[in-house]
Amino acid sequence: MSAATLTPAPQASTERPLAHRSFVRDTRIVLLRELRPVARDPFSLLFGLIQPLVFLGLFGPLLVGSAGATLGADVWLWFVPAVLAMTTLFGSSVTGSNLQLDISSGVHERMLVTPLSRPAQLVGRALKEMVPVLAQSAVVLLVMLPFGLRPNPLGAVLTLLQLAVLGIGVGALSYSLALAVRKQEWMFWVVQQTVLFPVMLLSGMLLPLETGPAWMRAISTVNPLRYVVDSGRAAFAGDLASSAVAWGWVAAVVTAAVGLTVGVRAMIRSAD
């Protein structure tokens, strides 16, 4: 009688879970590192509020007087979501300049030789953009409440979350631009400003696109910010089940996915 051959049971591979935990850990480390300067200098967040508050205080009354009949009774429900989107766009699109400072000072090269994974270094930086976006947007909402702004509470929360997702994507693209131009700071600002203002104006955030020429309306259909702005306006008005809100989430998620994909690839190539 032959002895039974014992075959050792296959052991489950732990490489993927370990890799996953390492990525999450590295992302958290980079995120906390990027948040420390914000915690030490909260006045930088308040400084970023100057522009949206100026728009609300000066452009808002002009809009009420000139376009109030076109936009409806509550112009603030139309204008405030646009200002929040503008705050997100301006704040997250300039974050690449911080990476340029790290590149010029040698901090970026030292980060690349650490055990931290390069994708985590980009994702951690991009996630950091959620904090100032949410903080500044919340302050804008609180400031506007005494002036008669009455948004749908759930719609306002969903809009802030949507803008945070958009900010992650735009921030990642800004980091990609910084990696592409490296120490040429002037080139970063040329590209950033060249792209920023057409995207902003073609989103309809300042004036209704319906009154614009046909060519402008056609170009705006490929502008993801337009769908996010329209989504915020519908959500603030309480129309949460509208297609505008759904398309806004699609635009924000696609922007985040494209930004992170491009950014991670740029971060990996930067070490070569």
Residue 53 lies in a domain: yes
Six token digits for residue 13 = 């591979």
Region of residue 184 (left: phi > 0; alpha: psi -120 to 50; beta: else): beta
Q: Is the pLDDT of residue 21 over 80?
A: no
Report if residue 41 sits inside a domain.
yes
Q: Is residue 144 part of a domain?
A: yes
Asked whether residue 197 is assigned to any structural domain, the reply reads yes
The reported pLDDT for the residue numbered 15 is: 47
In whole angstroms, what is the distance from residue 260 CA to residue 252 CA?
A: 12
pLDDT at 6: 44
Write the pLDDT tens digit of every residue in 48-83.
667 777 777 777 666 665 555 555 557 888 888 988
Mean pLDDT of 194-202: 90
Q: Does residue 11 form part of some domain?
A: no
Domain count across the chain: 1
CA-angle at 162, arms to 99 and 98, nearest 5°: 10
Domain assignment of residue 127, given as a range: 18-270
What is the per-residue pLDDT for 2?
47
The reply to whether the predicted model has a pTM over 0.85 is: no
Residue 117's nearest CA partner among 15, 20, 35 is 20
Residue 10: how many CA atoms within 13 Å on its side-chain side? 3
> Exposed (0-12), middle (13-18) or buried (19+): which is 14, by Cβ within 10 Å?
exposed
Residue 2 lies in a domain: no
Q: What was the pLDDT predicted at 8?
A: 47
pLDDT in tens, 123-175: 888 888 788 878 888 888 888 888 778 899 999 999 999 999 999 999 999 99
Residue 10 within a domain? no
Query: For 235-259, what is the mean pLDDT?
Result: 94
175 in any annotated domain: yes
